[in-house]
Amino acid sequence: MSRLDRTHALRLLVAWAVLSVVGVLIAMQVHLPPGDQSTQATDETSLLQLMLIISTPVFVGVVLFILYSVFAFRQTRGAALEDGPPSYGNFRLQVAWVAITAIIVLLLAVIGINGLTSSAAETNFASSQAALGTGGSATTSGHRLQVQVIGQQWWFTYRYPDFGGAESLHLMLPVNTNIEFHVTSTDVVHSFWAYELGVKADANPGVDNITYVSTVRTGAFTVRCAELCGIWHGHMADTNNAVVSQADFTTWIAQVQKDNSDLNLPPYSPIYFPHPPIKGD
């Protein structure tokens, strides 16, 4: 490496270090979704934040290199065209680059796989859990609250098999609970996306797509369809959902069961055709 090489490299490295630090500090201020309403959401937000933080020095480095090169390594204006030095490569540098990029992406893959396995695991909530309503306890260890999500053109219906199959057009969930979604569709492919909960699962006809969430904070959340399902795909959204306290949930589900009591709903099945929407929902 010649002296000229070292000068340029040093300048670039220093600039990169400084700008990267600034960039990372800015990146850490960005508020990323989905938030902290569930353990999965918290994990996903952390992963997104990590990726943003890793991306920042990469982005800064590339942009800096391009800008530096076009100024420092320019043809002399007005003079005849000159060639650059005949350098064909540097084996060690190439190996170093490939190794570093490989390590970074491997790291991200491992973290991602880790997050994947933990998102399916149950969160161990504090022992002050009360059994919920008729139909069985939903928070004793090993049994998650079952919620069936039925997509159709163009709304979602939610069904609670633990509570006699009570149906609702809005999704209410108790806080501090492990929940198991069974997502299916009656016509085309939809996708159940509960934004603040960090949950997304495609609704395929004839398929029981299982995904999990562990709620840790009360609050409203939005559900949208995330897979093109026809003309009103954009309208397939509902902001009237919430994670509520367990007492509130018990009250609510009891009301839903009462509303459903005159309907003869079939037992739980991955393929299911819900009744038409109840007026006023």
Partner 1 sequence: MAVAPAVDDGPPIIQSSERRIVIPTNILTGIALAAVGYWAGAQLGISFALNDAGNTEVLLGYTFASIMFLVGIGFANYPLARLFGWRVTPQPAGDDHDGPWRYLNLSLDHKVIGVQYLVAMLMAMLFGGIGAMLIRTSLLVPDPPIVAPDKYLTLVSMHSVMMIFVASAAIVGPFGNFFVPYMIGTNRMAFPRLEALSFWLVPPAIVILLAAPIFGGFQTGWTGYTPLSEQADQGFDSYIVGFTLIGLALVVSGVNMLTTIIQLRAPGMTWTRLPIFVWGVFSASILGTFAAPILAAALVMQGLDRTVNTTFFISSAGGSPYLWENLFWFFGHPEVYIFILPAFGIVLELIVHFSRKPLWGYRTAVVGLLGVTLLSWFVWQHHLFMSGIAPALRPFFMFSTEMISIPTGIVFLVAFGTMWRARISMTVPMLFSLGFLFNFLIGGLSGVFLSDVPSDTTLHGSYFSMAHFHFTIVGGEIFAIVAAIYYWFPKMTGRMLNQTWGKIHFWWMFIAFNLAFMPLFAAGLLDMPRRVSTYAVSLQTLNDWVSVWAFILFASMVLFAINIIWSWFFTFKVAPANPWQARSIEWMLPTPLGRRNFEKIPVFTGGPYDYGNPSAKPAADLGGPPDRGMGSLGAEPAPS
Nearer to partner 1, 108 or 265 (CB): 108
Options 65-73, 137-145, 159-167, 256-264: segment touching partner 1 (CB under 8 A): 65-73
Nearer to partner 1, 55 or 134 (CB): 55
- Which residue in 253, 187, 197, 188 sits closest to 224, CA to CA? 197
Q: Which of 198, 214, 216, 250 binds partner 1 (CB under 8 A)?
A: 198
**Residue 252 C-beta: closest distance to partner 1, Å:** 24
- Segment 220-249, which members bind partner 1 (CB under 8 A)? 222, 224-235, 237
Options 20-28, 133-141, 143-151, 207-215: segment touching partner 1 (CB under 8 A): 207-215
Query: Which are the contacts of 92, defined by CB distance < 8 A and separation ≥ 6?
Result: none
Residues that bind partner 1 (rule: CB under 8 A) add up to a total of: 84
Nearer to partner 1, 21 or 228 (CB): 228
- Segment 74-133, which members bind partner 1 (CB under 8 A)? 74-76, 81-90, 93-94, 97-98, 101-102, 105-106, 108-109, 111-113, 115-116, 119-120
Q: Which helix (H) or strand (E) holds 244?
A: strand 237-244
Q: Which helix (H) or strand (E) holds 104?
A: helix 91-119
Options 3-11, 134-142, 143-151, 260-268: segment touching partner 1 (CB under 8 A): 3-11
CA torsion sign for 254, 256, 257, 258 is positive
Amino acid making up residue 158 = Y
Convert residues 16-55 into a mask of x (bound to partner 1 by CB under 8 A) and - (unbound). Answer: ----------------xxx-----x--xx--xx--x---x
Nearer to partner 1, 115 or 135 (CB): 115
Residue 148's DSSP bridge partners are: 159, 182
Interaction of residue 4 with partner 1, rule CB under 8 A: yes
List Cβ<8 Å contacts ≥24 apart for 109-118: 111/47, 111/50, 112/47, 115/43, 115/44, 115/47, 118/43
Q: Which of 19, 169, 189, 254 binds partner 1 (CB under 8 A)?
A: 189
Helices 3-27, 39-72: inter-axial angle, 10-degree rounding:
150
- Segment 250-279, which members bind partner 1 (CB under 8 A)? none
**Residue 145 C-beta: closest distance to partner 1, Å:** 20
- Segment 142-171, which members bind partner 1 (CB under 8 A)? none
**Residue 225 C-beta: closest distance to partner 1, Å:** 7
Residue whose entry in the numeric block shows the structure tokens 């800008």: 67
Cα 71 from Cα 59, distance rounded (Å): 19
Torsion on CA atoms 38, 43, 44, 46, rounded to nearest 10: 130
Cα 36 from Cα 23, distance rounded (Å): 24
